Amino acid sequence: MHEVYVSGTGSFLPERVLTNVELEKMVDTSDEWITQRTGIRERRVIAQHHSTSDIAALAARSALLDAGLTPEGLGAIIMATVTPDTYCPAGAVYVQHLLGASRACAFDLSAACTGFIYGAAAATSFIQTGMYEHVLVIGAEALSRVVDYTDRNTCILFGDGAGAAVLSRSKAAATGDRRSRIIDSFLRSDGSGHDLIEIPAGGARRPASAETVAGKQHFLTLKGKEVFKFATKAMVELIETALERNKVKIGDIDLIIPHQVNFRSIEVAQRKLDIPQEKLYLNLDRYGNTSAASIPIALDEAARAGRLRRGSLALLVAFGAGLTWGYNLIRW
């Protein structure tokens, strides 16, 4: 069975910054309230002339450049997103067209905030079986298009952005010291929690109508207290599972990149597992929750900032709507 390596990473953040101070003028909230409860200070908002595929393609180009690979070398493009350009066709085909990746199959994967973790696991399987040599995995979201900016429970949390990684079959595909082998992946879901985070209308269960539009049922909704409990429990479970399955201790992990959901839930898990602050990579103060884009954006930033060196053991953990949760363990 072939080994699988992360041969390149990339990300793209929109220029428009939406600060907590600006949100104070839009809803009944305050910079202090948002910062204390979430750790978020600002988030990015996609440009009016852009869609999800546009920013996904920009992140993808950066990852391809990092991997030293042309789009024609890709066998598959997997785009994790809950905000595709259209529900039919898949958002990934727009990205394929923008990149000119004429030889690649392209499809979307919907696992919300865990989407990139699921995508990386799927890509790993494709490569291990010999089906493809190089797979591009993207996490991209334009959540500002589905957020109700009169609802302070949701609009303070979410931002837009895209991140990507090229997964490859051989070390030769990795440039320089970037020989980052995926050691293990773990995926779980629990459909009984499907209503904790959702966009209620627009699908076959509740088709679009005048009533669903009037009732703002096409916007993202969440049950905050329940989601907080789930996120904290899921993060602890994922880290403990990774340690047990791979026979390592928390001290052996060089960097944990959690889904950037809420500083308080991450902090609770950090205390329970006695994780030193320097082992965590956090950027939610600058970007908020970017759902499927959260992990690959942070991974790209951490790699380029030197937080991941050759030999580092990195654990990516995510949890989100569905409910879904999972991890990827990488030896950098």
Catalytic residue among 20, 113, 134, 155: 113
Can you read off the two tokens belonging to residue 171? Answer: 């070390």
Can you read off the two tokens belonging to residue 9? Answer: 């990473």
Q: Which residues contact 311 (CB under 8 A, 6 or more apart)?
A: 331, 332
CA distances from residue 108 to 33, 95, 96 in whole angstroms, order as listed: 36, 11, 11
Angle at 41 (CA atoms; ends 110, 25), nearest 5 degrees: 100
Residue identified by tokens 């546009």 is 54
Contact 239, 269 (CB under 8 A): yes
Catalytic residue among 20, 155, 262, 289: 289
Active-site residue, 289 included: yes
Phi, psi of 307 (to 5 degrees): -75, -15
Q: Which residues contact 241 (CB under 8 A, 6 or more apart)?
A: 186, 327
Please name which of 113, 256, 85, 273 lies closest in space to residue 193, comparing C-alpha atoms: 113
- Distance between CA atoms of 21 and 241, rounded to whole angstroms? 40
Catalytic residue among 20, 134, 259, 262: 259
Contact 260, 284 (CB under 8 A): yes
Q: Which residues contact 15 (CB under 8 A, 6 or more apart)?
A: 44, 47
Active-site residue, 259 included: yes
- Strand extents, DSSP E, 22-125: 42-45, 76-80, 105-109
Please name which of 106, 104, 139, 102 lies closest in space to residue 120, comparing C-alpha atoms: 139
CA distances from residue 326 to 1, 112, 213, 272 in whole angstroms, order as listed: 23, 12, 34, 19
Kindly list the catalytic residues.
113, 259, 289
